[in-house]
Amino acid sequence: MDPIQAAIDDIESLPPGETLSYTKTAAKYSVVRSTLIQRHKGITQPPEVKNSNQQKLTLQQEQELMVQNFASVIAKEPVSKSWVTRFINQHSIHLISQWTVGIDNPYHTYNMDKKGFLISVISRLKRIFSR
């Protein structure tokens, strides 16, 4: 469990009438006091919740969009969303997906190379490789 969430659960489990000390609770769970206060009062949200609220596409949609863009450029005409699903299912024997950790500087990274193509450009990357 997230330490901040554990601290919030501890605060909310206090019996009525007992004094609330954000400083002691923050020290007990080794979290930043100001972050604990803001989360407990609902001023801020955990990064996962905040990011998911701002995201327009699901991870699956983003991955299919990349494959769809590559195929459209190669075919020189738009391909449908269902084409992507059929392509991945048809070539699943020849394709593997693997998570990698980004160790290269962004200016040394290209979207296509001899090994495969990137699914997303963040610290963790998912690449599709030929077997």
> What is the per-residue pLDDT across 81-93, written as a single tens digit (0 to 9) for each?
788 778 877 877 6
**What's residue 104's pLDDT?**
56
The helix/strand/coil state of 80 is coil
**What's residue 131's pLDDT?**
61
**What's residue 101's pLDDT?**
58
Instruction: Report pTM.
Output: 0.42
**What's residue 55's pLDDT?**
75
Query: Which parts of the chain have pLDDT scores under 70?
Result: 59, 63-64, 93-131
**What's residue 37's pLDDT?**
92
Question: Which residue in the block uniquely carries the two structure tokens 């299912």?
Answer: 89
**What's residue 98's pLDDT?**
63
HEC string of 2-49 equals CHHHHHHHHHHCCCCCCCCCHHHHHHHHCCCHHHHHHHHCCCCCCHHH
